[in-house]
Amino acid sequence: AQKITQTQPGMFVQEKEAVTLDCTYDTSDPSYGLFWYKQPSSGEMIFLIYQGSYDQQNATEGRYSLNFQKARKSANLVISASQLGDSAMYFCAMREENYGGATNKLIFGTGTLLAVQP
Amino acid sequence: ETGVTQSPTHLIKTRGQQVTLRCSSQSGHNTVSWYQQALGQGPQFIFQYYREEENGRGNFSPRFSGLQFPNYSSELNVNALELDDSALYLCASSLVLAGAETQYFGPGTRLLVL
């Protein structure tokens, strides 16, 4: 069964420094997608970045990059030049393919709470 | 701003009651998914609707049901509420064409069952 593991319950980072949030996944499906979402205290899940299992290059979106290591089944999120507004919960998620037609089902990890300190 | 809205933002119910949560998808999106997020956990998939038909369901009781309307708005209904139904309920919309696409989430409805 598909599974997402986030082993860091909480992380601290100084403003303007880079931080890496860990994510490992388990799937036997050769085709899958990996996502990172940010959830501020308001509750809304904000899409940050996507990596397809067949993508040759690591995804980047502004200050966000995804360190995709397929052989190790890891998809770590790197946030460069942290800002105070980056303080939030971060979730790694995998899109389960070929799920009886519900090809858009997302499986989430338990999240990492990031606190950016001034 | 994802263009996905949910109502109400907060709701308090008592055990045994029924509740309806509403979601308005981003314009043009043909797929809506609902998730339940208990405190301190990641969201769990409840079900998905594609063109007004249920298109997949997670491991949730039949007490959870839904509807999707032609204007792509949708509802989540929960009957015979239990204390464990207290959670943040998130809907997410996406435009599915040739394959699955990125889901965009609304702000959620916080449900408290007493």
Structure tokens at A22: 């860990």
pLDDT at B86: 98
Q: Tally DSSP H helices, then E strands, for chain B.
A: 0, 11
Contact B69, B53 (CB under 8 A): no
Write out the residues of chain A at the interface with chain B, using a CB-CB cutoff of 8 A.
Answer: 4, 33, 35, 37, 42-47, 50, 91, 93, 95, 97, 99-111
Cis peptide before B8 (omega within 30 of 0): yes
Contact B85, B79 (CB under 8 A): no
The mean pLDDT value for B41-62 works out to: 92
pLDDT at A5: 97
pLDDT category, A103, cuts 50, 70, 90? low
Q: A84 — phi, psi (to 5°)?
A: -60, -35
Contact B94, B101 (CB under 8 A): yes
Q: Rounded to a whole number, what is the distance in angstroms from the first to the last CA of chain B?
A: 32
Instruction: Flag the least confident range among A4-13, A70-79, B76-85, B99-108.
Output: B99-108
Decide if pLDDT at B85 tops 70. yes
**DSSP at B25:** P
State how far the Cα of B93 lies from the Cα of B110, in Å rounded to an integer. Answer: 19
Best B26, B30, B48, B74 member to test A by mutation, with max A CBs in 10 Å, is B48
The count of CB pairs under 8 A between chains A and B is 74
Long-range contacts of A62-70 (CB under 8 A, 24+ apart): A64/A36, A66/A34, A66/A36, A67/A20, A68/A34
Non-local CB neighbours of B88 within 8 Å, separated by 6+ positions: A43, B36, B37, B108, B109, B110, B111
Report for A26-35, A66-75, B25-34: range of highest mean pLDDT: A66-75
- Contacts with B110 from chain A: Cβ below 8 Å: 43
